[in-house]
Amino acid sequence: MQRRIFCATAALAASLCLSTGAYAQTKWDMATAYPAFNFHSKNIEQFVQDVDTATKGSLKITPHYGASLFKMPEIKRAVQTGNVQMGEFFLVSFQNEAQMFGLDGLPFLVKNYDEAFKLYQAQKPFLEKLLDKQGQVLLYAVAWPPQSIYSNKTIQSAADLKGLKWRVYSPPTARIGELVGAQPATIQEAELSQALATGVIEGLITSSATGADNKLFENLKHFYKVQAWIPKNAVTVNKKAFNALTKEQQAAVREAAAAAEKRGWEASREVDARSLKTLADGGMSVEEPSAQLMDDLGKVGDTVVKEWLEKAGTDGQAVLKAFNDSK
């Protein structure tokens, strides 16, 4: 409670223009759950520098990495309520709040980065409208590398996943776990290493980058390149804080955000290739999935997409039509 009161007070103070001699300076804090060495964080670091340069120091953004300000599930709400001016969060984690947040977590909807970006372009107007109603401005979004399966045992079919202690981080990963008969456990990225070391989980589906960052090769033996989906992190700003900026500052933030989005998507591709090598060098067996496993997962994916469409209604149908028309 004390931390929340402090954060709220600090956010209110930081949103005011503080006199610094020749000009007024606005200070923002930014919450993110990932370590400073993660490629998303490196992208944020450059974004912050670009804003500082473009505004001639009149807007200072301080990133707080590693969930040091708010834990991942709290970040979106913190931006929405103004407890922090900016934040980065994993879109699909909030599917229960609004189905549109979970679009890029639907299995096998996209096959590669090009399709993932087209899906984002179809999704973006819906995200902007949704976030605007929640008092936020979408600045940019960047994809993670494709999500694949990690396990300590050989996985040749969905039947091999039955009973596996399975890490979940979103409604789709939880539903997949249910459909294959795994034992789901909700674990945030910062808790991964401990959960694996203590046997809380035995397998998961996540990106090559997350595996490399967290040295999953120290606890798991197999990586199956199923590339089930390509999810995104979104970077947003509290709408009141953004609207309080001058037009010139707003333009600078928008321009830096556009550059960050382009740079981030390019970095994601590079990080995927580099992370796969890191996993292999660490002793993990990086394997192509069996035809049976892909067939089984494809059927699971069909069920998850069908259920999503039933909940997403006309917006869901519209965004998928826009995506399919773009291919």
Residue spans of the domains in the chain: they are 2-98+112-143+232-274, 147-229+281-326
Q: For the segment 123-179, what is each residue's pLDDT rounded down to a tens digit?
A: 999 999 999 999 999 999 999 999 999 999 999 999 999 999 999 988 999 999 999
Q: 3-state SS of the chain: helix, strand, coil percent to 5?
A: 55, 20, 25
- Answer for the pair 139, 237: CB distance below 8 angstroms, yes or no: yes
Q: For the segment 68-78, what is each residue's pLDDT rounded down to a tens digit?
A: 999 999 999 99
**Alpha-carbon separation of residue 131 from 128, 222, 234 (angstroms):** 5, 38, 11
β 59-64/17-19 pair status: unpaired
- Answer for the pair 272, 144: CB distance below 8 angstroms, yes or no: no
Asked, colleague to colleague, whether 2-98+112-143+232-274 and 147-229+281-326 share their fold, the answer is yes
pLDDT number for residue 23: 57
pLDDT number for residue 95: 95
Query: pLDDT tier at 117 (50, 70, 90 boundaries)?
Result: very high
Pick the CATH number of 147-229+281-326 from 3.30.1130.10, 3.40.190.170, 3.30.470.20, 3.90.180.10: 3.40.190.170
β 222-224/285-287 pair status: parallel
Query: Which amino acid would we find at residue 325?
Result: D
- The count of residues in the chain is 327
Pick the CATH number of 2-98+112-143+232-274 from 3.40.190.170, 3.30.70.890, 3.40.109.10, 3.30.465.10: 3.40.190.170
Q: For the segment 244-289, what is each residue's pLDDT rounded down to a tens digit?
A: 999 999 999 999 999 999 999 999 999 999 999 999 999 999 999 9
